[in-house]
Structure 1
Amino acid sequence: MPSRILRAPLPPRPLRGKSSSPAKVADDGDEEMMFTPVANGKRINGDLPTTRDLVEEAPTVIKVVGPSSEFGSEIHGNDESSDEEEDGEEEPIVHVEVRLQPESTIRPEHIIAPVTYLLQAQLKWVYAGEEFTSDLWEEIPVLLRNVERIFVSETEQPGPLKGDEVEYDVHVYKTSNEGSVIEGGLEEDEDEDCPTAATVITLPSAEIEGLWENLIYEGGIKERLLRYMNTSLVFADCQIDSNVISSNRLALMYGPAGTGKTSLCRALAHKLAIRYASDKYPNGAKLIEINSHSLFSKWFSESGKLVQKVFDQVQFYLSDPGCLVVVMIDEVESIATSRAAAMQGTEPGDAVRVVNAILTQLDRLKEHPNALVLATSNLVGGIDAAFVDRADIKQFIGPPSPEAIYWILLSTFKELGKRNFGGERLAPHGDKLLSWKEAVPGSRTEHKSRRDERIWLASVELRKLAVRCHEIQASGRFLRRLPKLAHARLARRTARLAQWMEAFVAELEQEAENQSLIVRGEGKRASVAH
């Protein structure tokens, strides 16, 4: 990917028809701060509009983008829209996530305008996945005092895109560490320790932050799920009649163990909170993770009551229409098992009552436009047909391909390459490894230094390692744990790339041998659940 090119120090295209001099952006309280854009470390001569001007006097041709342009937050100077604008080609949307500092109390609308102007002033090319450091906005007080991170999350079209031919959709958010639990058990169990029925996480969550970017799937799986959830919220916001167009707002992710289904659900909920909560849901967002195994009672025929008790708590959160609630049911086959198969069990009546209770509660959730449901399963064949039929989207999450494995391992090396121990890098130059396409055996070219040669050789070895991981069907959990296992094998705390590769290969072959022993011991092909 070519390096990002900054614009020449010229005034960026204006956000509105007239200018104000000098620019001021209102911070929290009554204070106003001077705001002057910079390029290549120098100030740009030109005036900026105030945030108030952007909101109140935006001309017809400008779309004021906030946390969600998908909901159509278009502001016009008058009620008539331009025919030329409607007939013209729309600019691709670039989603930009702006994370505020924990102590910041500024309102999001006071950040959107300066960030948009800054990007228009500075970027000649825009790339998805590009992160900016604070030196980019060090001369803009409102950003310097409030913004922690600016990240180009997604682009509507594959990049790179010209910076003056895109529309920035800026999402401002702040992460939270808040959470709570929903206790399990019935009145009969008051004297006993009961498992937690569900965990409630306030979104966006500091714990989940960054997970979306580190989940690597092929075929646009993440983007497809995000678009589906977007459509679900849009249809709910438009009050589409579900009797005419069915919408259960339920997504089912299924596939073998260790492929990241649970992590994908959590990251998707986090992403939805960033993109939509601050705009459509002023009271925030909650992720409710239901513990399926806690919904079975030792008391005969009481499991259905446990299900109802947990979902009554879910209904409590849903009663606030200003709060987005994402319900996640992990390993849903535990509580939504096929009723036909349950009839063959030891307590068929209780199992059937649990499934009936789950289906009833899902139908109740449909009544709330602020409810979304995500479910995962390792054994989709064991799920009741009525539950599967209720899922609007069923997404298979399979083992990663060699290229996806390479990018996963590459991300671990980049992390090791950035971290120090005792003043030394854990994996020197680990953050300099090449891309999948560049790490091709036999593509050796003249390198400028011995260091470049070693980096190329290590990249080629990493590509071979990725292919081998795919051959033994290594799970995503194992891939993420491999660096720790490899480091334990090393004789020293830090090591060269070649030594890291040797340790990776040794641990991988050890894993392959362990899988082989387990297969022979069970007499059948199996995958280790790491």
Structure 2
Amino acid sequence: MKFPLHIEIVQRQDSTLTKESLRNYIKKIVEDEGYITPGVTLTNLNPKFLDEHVQAIYISDLPCEIEKESVKVSEVIIKYYVYRLDDAGPQAEVMDEEEDMTAANHWILPSTDFHGLWESLVYDSSIKDNLLNFVETTLLFSDKKVDTNVVSWNRVVLLHGPPGTGKTSLCKALAQKLSIRLSERYRHGQLVEINSHSLFSKWFSESGKLVMKMFEKIRDLIDDKEALVCVLLDEVESLAHARKASMSSSEPSDSLRVVNAVLTQIDQMRRYPNVLILTTSNLTNAIDLAFIDRADIKQYIGLPSAFAIYKIYHSCINELLRVGIITPVEKIFPIRSLQLTKFEENDATRLSIQLLAIARASEGMSGRTLRKIPFLAHAHFIQSSVVPLEDFMKALEKAVFKQKLDCEEFARDAS
């Protein structure tokens, strides 16, 4: 059985080639090579002609169950995507002119702000693939005009788990990835990140109206059938707070109006095939049960395992190698390569095994913290602009130990 492999080509802004000609040029290079390495990012491309027109090439990974470092082109179904990045950045949406508070940030996708974000997110399971498959199914069912009174779906995703595990980043990366993968269907993507706290007005009973006004603006975007609109509600418990708790407390009835408004708008938007509602929460017990019931996917995002941490550290080391802060002495192997060798330690794998030990010592840390560890390793334990890889590994180990000690001391002081 052939598996799909996606090759995404980021075209430079000043490139004069058509998308089709660039796609065909790279397709010929791939087919002439005969083999391809999944899960890699290519920059500083050769020949020079290619580097003049291409900023980067992303090759998707294979399913987790396939343990191969490279595959024959004939073994996979390759899909090519050529796109340019929008560099305008977020545009602010203001609901209350008097208070001048930003109610939402709005991006045209794909955006430079989220360039490479999808590839940087590492999880232990097929979370990312599952989310892409979910969207494919919503489109298929919409295209086939499945009766939603018989088979129901709402296009709502809820990611929940502890802070720092990449829930918000995954939502933004998913919106970016969909704008690329669905570029033949939609001319462009749009991401609207709603600032939940700004929708609570200082004027009694106005918050519900602000929510309605916000979603009216979103519906204006959805009316463009050539746009894929992703709506991000970060910390959704702020807008969809459990009504049972509100009624039994001294909270104002305005919060009840907000929850009712949010649920009403979600119900109205479910009939649009070109919208996806992405939500996150650190406090799932604070979310209204009716909202939870509307979520098609309720995905837990937990702390990374040792293997996931290894991948995070490996990507950080590769980045520091790329910019010349670390000088290579020995190669750090991908975790898949170590698994194929059954983690046998020899002269070639010595540093890779050492990195795995550091990853195991880092278990319990969030992805947000793990991404800071290489920086802290250099800041605390390295006094030069260029460092050999072996010395950096020692500094990385010390930084992990220091981070754990600092957290323990902070916890003691807080208690």
User: Secondary structure at the residue paired with 1:324?
Assistant: strand
Indicate the residue corresponding to 2:322 in structure 1.
Answer: 418
Indicate the residue corresponding to 1:266 in structure 2.
Answer: 172
Indicate the residue corresponding to 2:139 in structure 1.
Answer: 233
1:433 aligns with 2:338: no
Cα displacement string for residues 290-331 of structure 1 (whole angstroms, at most 9, x for unaligned residues): 111111111112111111121111111111111110111111
Moved more, 383-392 or 341-350: 341-350
Indicate the residue corresponding to 1:374 in structure 2.
Answer: 278
Higher helix proportion: 2
Alignment of 1:151-300 (within 5 A): 151-155=58-62, 158=66, 159=68, 160-186=70-96, 190=98, 192=99, 194-276=100-182, 278-282=183-187, 284-300=188-204
Contact kept in structure 2, 1:415 and 1:431, CA below 8 Å: no
Moved more, 431-440 or 195-204: 431-440
- Distance 1:137-1:150 versus aligned 2 partners, 3 A rule: farther
- Once the two structures are TM-superposed, the CA of residue 508 in structure 1 deviates from its matched residue by 2.3
> How many Å separate the matches in 2 of 1:442 and 1:105?
48
- Once the two structures are TM-superposed, the CA of residue 363 in structure 1 deviates from its matched residue by 1.3
- Once the two structures are TM-superposed, the CA of residue 185 in structure 1 deviates from its matched residue by 4.3
1:109 aligns with 2:20: yes
> How many Å separate the matches in 2 of 1:508 and 1:146?
41
Indicate the residue corresponding to 1:314 in structure 2.
Answer: 218
Indicate the residue corresponding to 1:484 in structure 2.
Answer: 375
User: Secondary structure at the residue paired with 2:203?
Assistant: coil
Identity %: 40
Higher RCO structure (Cα 8 Å, ≥6 apart): 2
Indicate the residue corresponding to 1:18 in structure 2.
Answer: none
- Once the two structures are TM-superposed, the CA of residue 132 in structure 1 deviates from its matched residue by 4.7
- Once the two structures are TM-superposed, the CA of residue 144 in structure 1 deviates from its matched residue by 6.7
Cα displacement string for residues 213-272 of structure 1 (whole angstroms, at most 9, x for unaligned residues): 111101111111111112122222333322222121111111000101111111111110
Consecutive unaligned residues in structure 2, runs of 5 or more: none
Match of 1:509 among 378, 397, 401: 401
After TM superposition, which residue ranges in structure 1, 4 or more long, deviate above 6 angstroms? Answer: 439-442
TM-score normalised over the length of structure 1: 0.72
1:128 aligns with 2:38: yes
> How many Å separate the matches in 1 of 2:318 and 2:130?
27
* Cα RMSD, aligned residues only: 2.5
1:350 aligns with 2:241: no
Contact kept in structure 2, 1:326 and 1:373, CA below 8 Å: yes
- Once the two structures are TM-superposed, the CA of residue 161 in structure 1 deviates from its matched residue by 3.0
Alignment of 1:371-410 (within 5 A): 371-410=275-314
Contact kept in structure 1, 2:93 and 2:104, CA below 8 Å: yes
User: Secondary structure at the residue paired with 1:219?
Assistant: coil
TM-score normalised over the length of structure 2: 0.90
Moved more, 127-136 or 215-224: 127-136
- Once the two structures are TM-superposed, the CA of residue 457 in structure 1 deviates from its matched residue by 4.2
Indicate the residue corresponding to 1:150 in structure 2.
Answer: 57
Matched positions, count: 409
> How many Å separate the matches in 2 of 1:105 and 1:312?
39
Contact kept in structure 1, 2:89 and 2:113, CA below 8 Å: no
Cα displacement string for residues 75-130 of structure 1 (whole angstroms, at most 9, x for unaligned residues): xxxxxxxxxxxxxxx6433221122121235543344444333322222x233224
